[in-house]
C-alpha cells in the first residue's frame, strides 16, 4: 500500500473535519433517519422472508401467545414456533400483520402531509410574496379552517364515507393539514421578500414564479423539510385516532385498526398483550423517529439551536 504524501494526508483530515462540522452531520437527524429506515425496511423487506399471507383473516390458529411465553394464560393454546409473535382472535399472525400495517400507516401520513404541504407552499408563497388582497383572502380562509374542530369534523366525515381505504383516509386528513403550513410559510416569505437577493432578482426582470420558487424556496428547504416531517407525524396521529374509533380502512391493515380490533375484542381484559402492545411500540418508534428528524432539521435551519452563533 503506497504511503500518503503530506498534502494528501492534510486534505483527508480537512475533509473529515468539514464533514463533522457540517450542519447536516446532526446526531438527532441521523438517529431519527436510522429508526425510520428500520421501520420501513421491516415492512418492505420483511415480506421477502416471512409469509405475508398470514396477515389475512383465518390464516392462522386463534389466540396463540408469543413463543417466549412459557405459561400461557388459561384458555389459550401453547405457542408455536411458526408464529413467533403469536396470533390474535381473527386468526392473523402478528408478525405478518405488523409488516403489513406499518407501511400502510406511513403511507397515510405521507400522502396527507404531501398534499397539505403542497397546498401550503403554493398558498403560503402567494400570500407572503404577493401581499395585498391575495394575502388577505388566503389568510382569512386559513385562519377560518384552523378554528374548525378538525377531529370532530373528521369523525363525522369518516362516518359518512361508505368505504374507506388508505387513499380516502389520506384525502380526508389533507382537508385540514394545509392551513398550518400556509401560515408558517407565509411568515417566512414575508421576511425573505425584503432580502437583497430578492430585490436584485426583481431588478433583473425575473418572473414572480422564478423569484418565489427558484430564488426564495431553496433558502427555506430545511425549514420546509422540518415542517413536512412534523405534518407527517400529525397526520399519522390523527389517522390513528380515527382508526382506534373504528373509522379507518378495513381491507388494508394499519396500526390504528389493529389497536381498534384489539380493543373491540377486549384483548386487555383477556390478557392478550401481544395483540395491542406491538402496534403501540411500532407507533412509538415511528413518532420518536419523526420527532428526532424534525428536531435535527430545526437545528440545521436555525444555527442558534445547535449552539453556533449565527453569522
- Over the stretch 243-279, which tens digit does the pLDDT of each residue have? 888 888 878 889 999 999 999 999 988 889 999 999 9
The three cell numbers locating residue 36: 425510520
Predicted local confidence at residue 192, as pLDDT: 85
Determine the average pLDDT of the residues in 189-199.
83
**What percent of the chain lies above the pLDDT cut of 90?**
37
Determine the average pLDDT of the residues in 14-21.
49
Q: What are phi and psi of 194, to 5 degrees?
A: -95, 5
Gap between the Cα atoms of 164 and 155, Å rounded: 12
Domain boundaries, the chain: 36-304
Predicted local confidence at residue 292, as pLDDT: 93
Q: Are the C-beta atoms of 297 and 222 separated by less than 8 Å? A: yes
Determine the average pLDDT of the residues in 112-125.
93
Under the banding of pLDDT at 50, 70 and 90, the label for residue 11 is low
**Bigger pLDDT: 28 vs 152:** 28
Which residue shows C-alpha cell 382569512? 140
Under the banding of pLDDT at 50, 70 and 90, the label for residue 76 is confident
Predicted local confidence at residue 19, as pLDDT: 45
Which residue shows C-alpha cell 416471512? 50
36-304 maps to CATH 1.10.3720.10: yes
Amino acid at each position: 500500500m503506497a504511503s500518503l504524501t503530506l498534502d494528501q494526508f492534510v486534505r483527508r483530515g480537512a475533509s473529515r473535519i468539514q464533514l463533522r462540522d457540517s450542519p447536516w452531520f446532526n446526531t438527532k437527524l441521523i438517529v431519527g433517519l436510522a429508526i425510520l429506515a428500520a421501520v420501513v425496511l421491516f415492512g418492505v423487506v420483511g415480506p421477502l422472508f416471512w409469509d405475508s399471507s398470514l396477515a389475512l383473516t383465518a390464516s392462522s390458529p386463534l389466540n396463540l401467545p408469543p413463543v417466549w411465553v412459557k405459561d400461557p394464560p388459561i384458555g389459550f393454546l401453547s405457542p408455536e414456533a411458526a408464529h413467533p409473535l403469536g396470533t390474535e382472535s381473527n386468526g392473523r399472525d402478528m408478525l405478518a400483520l405488523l409488516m403489513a400495517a406499518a407501511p400502510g400507516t406511513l403511507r397515510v401520513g405521507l400522502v396527507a402531509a404531501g398534499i397539505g404541504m403542497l397546498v401550503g407552499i403554493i398558498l403560503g408563497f402567494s400570500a407572503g410574496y404577493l401581499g395585498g388582497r391575495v394575502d388577505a383572502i388566503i389568510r382569512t380562509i386559513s385562519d377560518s379552517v384552523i378554528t374548525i374542530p378538525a377531529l370532530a369534523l373528521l369523525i363525522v366525515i369518516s362516518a359518512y364515507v361508505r368505504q374507506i381505504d388508505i387513499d380516502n383516509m389520506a384525502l380526508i386528513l389533507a382537508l385540514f393539514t394545509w392551513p398550518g403550513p400556509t401560515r408558517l410559510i407565509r411568515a417566512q416569505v414575508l421576511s425573505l421578500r425584503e432580502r437583497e437577493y430578492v430585490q436584485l432578482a426583481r431588478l433583473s426582470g425575473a418572473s414572480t414564479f422564478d423569484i418565489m420558487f427558484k430564488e426564495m424556496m431553496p433558502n427555506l428547504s430545511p425549514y420546509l423539510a422540518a415542517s413536512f416531517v412534523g405534518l407527517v407525524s400529525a397526520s399519522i396521529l390523527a389517522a390513528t385516532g380515527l382508526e382506534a374509533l373504528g373509522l379507518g380502512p378495513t381491507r388494508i391493515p394499519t396500526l390504528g385498526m389493529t389497536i381498534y380490533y384489539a380493543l373491540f375484542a377486549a384483548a386487555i381484559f383477556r390478557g392478550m398483550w401481544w395483540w395491542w402492545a406491538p402496534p403501540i411500540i411500532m407507533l412509538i418508534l415511528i413518532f420518536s423517529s419523526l420527532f428526532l428528524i424534525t428536531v435535527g432539521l430545526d437545528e440545521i435551519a436555525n444555527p442558534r439551536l445547535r449552539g453556533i452563533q449565527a453569522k
